[in-house]
Structure 1
């Protein structure tokens, strides 16, 4: 759906109103940037582009701007941010919005204005009249977290736009190293595509060679090395993190978080929950659940309980200052090997 809308925008087939909502900031930002760059040239942006934060500006002000003819050129672009009145949440701001006037505008929008409403919320209140009317009249982009197969297709299409093809295993390795942050995924795909411009293909070796690991993914790899009883490699990763000035207390927190996820995934899987159900219950990405499921089978319940107790004790010692922080994690890693 998002790609279809982007295709129409690139063809300069603009809708008068766009509603972008959801928690995937990358999709919202990319759509806004694409609309702005396609609808206006650089000179027009100075005069025909406006941004309003509806947490501190009444929508009436934005509507007056929308109904005013462009200073020059054939259209203007207006971004409206944070329309909390579309949600069930009570607004903290004491801003009065004339929603009746907004409803009237939705029924008859200015033909020379592209209005982009950016709502970074997981859900909108579908019971509200204004929400129903907006979703009925606007071009809607639901910016939700992509599922694993959607992420894989996203990577394929991103590389394909540069004339590059990914080998299937290379995409899985990319996601395992980078995680599910789409800003990071896009940056790494573009870097790989640039490097592979001559051979037109990206394989696992190239991904291993070039892709930057996030701290979270380094922790995941560190745990994998512990599971495989490769303590020397686990320690090497840990020392590299220290050289990158990563705080031991943050590393410990991520270790504890990953083992907590493994424990929860293992328990929910035993109760018969599927990967998507577990992801929804734990409010995490399905791809993280898939990786945790792979690790869960390598620990018994007793081992996981013991590890979590050990990590909690290490956290206490670290926060009470009873021992050298970096040395404390080394001891934890040695004990994890047993």
Structure 2
């Protein structure tokens, strides 16, 4: 029976309850969920002794489709089922030949195909057969605005609480790499004081190296509050720590903030709730747009977007006479706040 359009949580629950499909095809740009499902199959369905005989792990760059099919046709030795996992399937040729196996998949085999960083053409017959015989799961990359909610949900699953600022720090610094974010939260959990379950900005600063005082979120806050001293202190820190805070990473984030501010000026309701809904952002961040709109009107926001574009171009050598990052930052801050 086809099992498609299921969430990764539902697929994992089904696997843990032994509601198994003969074939799992896991594909997409986000490897985190593919690894999660594959690991549950690899480590939870067979015990250690069974895995020695009835688990086969193949890699696309080191094998061919005939070897995969032959492995899937074998009979288990020490357990009711055998598991065959093909990792890095995006590197294997002639995947369409799976169609021969899919016509009569072995009832004693659980075949798992991990196809990362892309998808296959759903119009092909073998993919249609795959959807009928097994589970096809597409793991899509999350967008940046979805990360705060994901981080909060992941932390909750580990019985952890995060300060709102801590969530923003992790989002800004780690981006949308789910594996990296999960690993960092797991590390923080280990380093937490006994009896505590709260992740704070201070804990992040001590253990991950993200500064709670010198980051883009704090720079935006300084600009919104027209705090010249704080804004210049932060950009000086950026300029002195280029490796951790490259200008090519800072300016796009500033541009994104002021681009949204421009849109905010034309929302029918200029409230934090309206901003959160429109930009699909955490309510904690949405409050900043209400305050920023009071500091920068629509015309000033247009000029600021131009200043950021100009600074970005000059940082790349366009119409620049060798001015360094620190001076570029200072010019930009002056233009924004005056």
**TM-score using structure 2 length:** 0.70
Query: What stretches of structure 2 of length at least 5 have no aligned partner?
Result: 1-6
Q: Equivalent residue of 1:176, what SS?
A: helix
Query: What is the aligned partner in structure 1 of residue 200 from structure 2?
Result: 207
Return closer, same or farther for 1:199/1:176 CA change in 2, 3 Å cut-off.
same
- Displacement, 1:245? 4.2
Return closer, same or farther for 1:265/1:208 CA change in 2, 3 Å cut-off.
same
Return closer, same or farther for 1:129/1:326 CA change in 2, 3 Å cut-off.
same
- Displacement, 1:268? 5.0
Query: What stretches of structure 1 of length at least 5 have no aligned partner?
Result: 85-92, 280-285
Question: For 1:1-338, what aligned pairs fall within 5 Å after superposition?
Answer: 1-10=7-16, 14-39=20-45, 44=51, 48-53=55-60, 58-69=64-75, 75-83=82-90, 95-97=93-95, 99=96, 101-120=97-116, 125-144=121-140, 145=142, 147=146, 151=150, 154-160=153-159, 164=160, 166=161, 170=162, 172-179=164-171, 181=176, 182-196=178-192, 198-202=194-198, 206-211=199-204, 212=208, 218-246=215-243, 250-251=246-247, 253-266=248-261, 270=266, 286-287=280-281, 291=285, 294-295=288-289, 297=293, 298-320=295-317, 321-338=321-338
Return closer, same or farther for 1:318/1:193 CA change in 2, 3 Å cut-off.
closer
Q: RMSD between aligned alpha carbons? A: 4.1
Contact 1:78–1:115 (CA under 8 A) maintained in structure 2: yes
CA distance in 1, matches of 2:85, 2:56: 6
Contact 1:21–1:143 (CA under 8 A) maintained in structure 2: yes
Q: Equivalent residue of 1:110, what SS?
A: coil
Return closer, same or farther for 1:119/1:266 CA change in 2, 3 Å cut-off.
farther
CA distance in 2, matches of 1:302, 1:222: 21
- Displacement, 1:156? 4.6
Equivalences, count? 307
Question: Which deviations, in whole Å up to 9, do the C-alpha atoms of 1:39-97 show, x marking residues without a partner?
Answer: 4566746984333338x96533422232234687762332253559xxxxxxxx9x444
Q: Equivalent residue of 1:287, what SS?
A: coil
Query: What is the aligned partner in structure 1 of residue 4 from structure 2?
Result: none
**TM-score using structure 1 length:** 0.70
- Displacement, 1:102? 1.9
